[in-house]
């Protein structure tokens, strides 16, 4: 597959945009939980569904910029609404404008976490999200394989792996990196579509190659670059020509952090890896008090007084 250069990007400072990153991290953490949210109409996580949906749209010829904004908006809205999306709201009897208003309410929860330009793009996408087609188109085979391929987690050469359950899939991870990259693109002066596409495609080789982590990669040694290149070319060859060419150029940026799209991608990638580990650490340390006191498990409602009386009588608090 011929490697073509990505489209020219705006110049940006080489400095890391500390303020934008600090503001976004709480939102990114919530978005990452979509890897662990499922609904009754399927076994895939909300993240994997969005990953498959993105690839299906791209191979149908949808504009990558439009796909990126659509999926970033869906992710931000889903941070609080979870599996309640536009199609679900419409199945529940809401009109498209009513559904859009609900989505806007969820988006508004995170207004302070995103820059004005990015937030404006997401707001413009809400009517399309609310009126989204209920039908799903098939995604490329490699996308489904990535959803079935578990991530290795933290590994280090010469040491046993750290196992965490349940492991995320490569579909989960690639989706998160694509969305984080799209949301952070403006801070790095990058094209959101380029950052989104690079995140979506950066593990194409793992559709075939099981993930053994950094320790496994070190053992593959001199064979790894050739294996990766061959497997990536195999997947790109199955895509429409213009999309394959654009992805090939973007994937060539993975080894540097100079181009704006590469910087947005690497920021998104490392944040997702670390936030995923933080998730497992928080889950392992979870206490009932956190749910009862911090999260208002027994939340205010018409019968909350009775609820508390029952728990007190039962000594279940």
Give me the tens of pLDDT residue by residue for the chain, a chain 317 residues long.
Answer: 444 445 444 434 468 999 999 999 999 999 999 999 999 999 999 999 999 999 999 999 999 999 999 999 999 999 999 999 999 999 999 999 999 999 999 999 999 999 999 999 999 999 999 998 866 789 999 999 999 999 998 888 888 887 778 889 999 999 999 999 999 999 999 999 999 999 999 999 999 999 999 999 999 999 999 999 999 999 999 999 999 999 999 999 999 999 999 999 999 999 999 999 888 888 878 777 877 777 788 888 888 888 988 888 878 77
- Paired tokens of 273: 């890896």
User: What is the C-alpha separation between 48 and 76, in angstroms, rounded?
Assistant: 15
Cβ(149)–Cβ(210) below 8 Å: yes
pLDDT at position 246: 98
> What's the pLDDT score for residue 74?
98
pLDDT of residue 316: 79
Phi first, then psi, for residue 109 (nearest 5°) are -65, -20
Where b means 16+ CB within 10 Å and e means fewer, 154-180 reads bbeeeeeeeebeebbbbbbbbbbbbbb
pLDDT at 135: 66
Question: What's the pLDDT at 290?
Answer: 78
- Dihedral over alpha carbons 206, 208, 211, 213 (to 10 degrees): -70
pLDDT at 14: 61
- Tokens (6 digits) for 286: 């979870």
Residue 310 CA neighbour count, 13 Å, CB half: 6
Q: What is the pLDDT of residue 192?
A: 98
Q: What is the pLDDT of residue 156?
A: 84
């Amino acid at each position: 597959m011929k490697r073509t250069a990505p489209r020219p990007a705006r110049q940006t400072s080489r400095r890391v945009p500390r303020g934008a990153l600090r503001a976004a991290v709480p939102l990114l953490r919530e978005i990452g939980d979509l890897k662990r949210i499922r609904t009754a109409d399927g076994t895939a996580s909300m993240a994997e569904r969005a990953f498959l949906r993105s690839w299906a749209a791209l191979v149908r010829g949808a504009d990558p910029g439009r796909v990126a904004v659509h999926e970033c908006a869906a992710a931000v809205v889903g941070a609080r609404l979870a599996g309640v999306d536009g199609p679900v709201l419409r199945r529940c009897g809401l009109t498209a404008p009513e559904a859009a208003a609900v989505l806007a309410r969820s988006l508004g929860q995170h207004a302070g976490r995103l820059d004005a330009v990015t937030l404006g793009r997401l707001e413009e996408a809400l009517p399309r999200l609310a009126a989204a087609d209920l039908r799903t188109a098939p995604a490329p085979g490699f996308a489904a394989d990535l959803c079935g391929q578990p991530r290795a987690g933290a590994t280090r050469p010469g040491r046993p792996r750290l196992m965490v359950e349940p492991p995320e899939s490569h579909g989960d991870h690639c989706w998160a990196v694509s969305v984080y990259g799209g949301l952070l693109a403006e801070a790095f002066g990058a094209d959101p579509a380029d950052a989104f596409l690079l995140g979506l495609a950066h593990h194409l080789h793992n559709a075939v190659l099981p993930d053994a982590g950094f320790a496994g990669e070190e053992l593959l040694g001199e064979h790894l670059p050739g294996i990766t290149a061959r497997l990536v070319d195999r997947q790109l060859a199955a895509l429409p020509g213009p999309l394959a060419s654009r992805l090939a150029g973007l994937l060539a940026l993975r080894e540097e952090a100079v181009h704006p799209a590469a910087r947005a991608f690497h920021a998104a990638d490392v944040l997702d890896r670390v936030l995923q580990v933080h998730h497992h650490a928080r889950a392992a340390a979870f206490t009932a008090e956190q749910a009862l006191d911090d999260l208002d498990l027994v939340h205010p409602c018409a019968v909350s007084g009775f609820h508390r009386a029952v728990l007190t009588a039962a000594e279940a608090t």
